[in-house]
Amino acid sequence: MKKVLVLGATSAIAQATVRLLAARGASLYLTGRNAANLEAVTKDAATRGSAKVESQVVDLNDFNSHEGLVEAAYTALGGLDGVVLAHGVLGDQAEAQRSWEATEAVLRTNFLSAVSLLTVLANRFEAQKAGTLVVISSVAGDRGRQSNYVYGASKGALNVFLQGLRNRLAKSNVAVVTVKPGFVDTPMTAHLPKNKLFASPEKVARGLLSAADARKNEVYVPGIWAIIMLIIRTIPETVFKRMKL
């Protein structure tokens, strides 16, 4: 990935990824909602060695902006060969259970906006017969649990969408990489008590980029989550539904 669009560049994992890409001298087009924060990430990337960095303040929940955004990224970098889709919200499960609006907001950001963006991007990449689409999903999408199934559903739906997209784009030499981080120590999880399973954003970013370089399909980062989720997925539903997870 030499010319990369990073969506949601101010998120902790995206920032760490941006740094690694910058150190490799990649050209970057970054988006974020908060102008000051986006500028901080942009300047950091420029200082760390990005060949070129441009940015755009945009709320990705505005689906009408997606065509224009992708077009702007192509123009600014003179083409694109990589996308890191990193925007997303955790939401509040209790709130979502009380209100459809709260549920819808999570689905809109994590699933629908991603689908809208990937529709535009996939068509471009399919036509140019090259590129890597990296999407940050979550282990929460592997199985619905009472503690966060709305967030989990948004990621689970995304995973299925990506499977289909991967299947479709395989013949066009376009890689679709689903990255499933476990617990990550970020501002999004700042309120949670930390344990050994929490990984740093840097560690996740390294895993993400090596998966992208190797054009992997689905990866768990850190790898230990492949085993944990294998166990969680194999628990029979009759048992699972009685568990407090």
Partner 1 sequence: MKAWESWGRYPQVEQQAHTLVWRTDGLPSKDGSVLPHGLGRSYGDSCLNAGGTLLLTSGLDRFIAFDPATGVVRCEAGVSLDTILRLAAPRGWFLPVTPGTKFVTVGGAIANDVHGKNHHRGGTFGRFVRRFELLRSDGSRRVCAPDENPDWYGATIGGLGLTGLVTWAEVQLKPISNPYVLQETVPFGNLDGFLEVARASEKDYEFTMAWVDCLARGKKLGRGLLYRGNFAPPQFDGLPLAKSHLSHGVGLAVPMDMPAFCLNRLSVSAFNWLYYHRQNGKPKQRLTHYDPFFYPLDAIYAWNRIYGRRGFLQFQCVVPYSTARDALKEILERSSRGGLPSFLSVLKTFGDIPSPGWLSFPREGVTLAMDFANRGEKTWKLVEDLDRLTRQAGGAVYPAKDARMSPENFAAYFPQRERFMPYVDPSFSSSFWRRVNPVSLPFSLAAERGASAAPPPQSLLAIR
What residues line the site for partner 1 (CB under 8 A)? 36-37, 40-41, 43-44, 47-48, 187, 190
Phi, psi of 92 (to 5 degrees): -125, 110
* Catalytic residue check, 151: yes
Please give the Cα distance from 29 to 238 (Å, whole number): 47
Could you say which DSSP state residue 194 is in? Answer: P
Token pair 């809208």 in the structure block, residue: 116
Contact 115, 161 (CB under 8 A): yes
Total Cβ atoms within 10 A of residue 92? 16
Cβ-based nearer residue to partner 1, 44 or 126:
44
Least separation in angstroms between CB 104 and partner 1: 27
Cβ-based nearer residue to partner 1, 137 or 186:
186
Least separation in angstroms between CB 15 and partner 1: 8
Please give the Cα distance from 20 to 164 (Å, whole number): 29
Cβ-based nearer residue to partner 1, 49 or 68:
49
Please give the Cα distance from 237 to 239 (Å, whole number): 5
Strand locations in the chain (E)? 3-7, 27-32, 52-57, 82-85, 131-136, 174-181, 218-221
Residues 6+ away with beta carbon under 8 Å from 191: none
Cβ-based nearer residue to partner 1, 95 or 185:
185
CA pseudo-torsion sign 182, 186, 192, 194:
positive
**Single-letter amino acid, residue 87:** H
Cβ-based nearer residue to partner 1, 159 or 189:
189
Token pair 């013949």 in the structure block, residue: 171
Q: Which of 29, 74, 149, 151 is catalytic?
A: 151
Least separation in angstroms between CB 12 and partner 1: 8
Least separation in angstroms between CB 86 and partner 1: 16
Least separation in angstroms between CB 39 and partner 1: 9
Residues forming the active site: 151
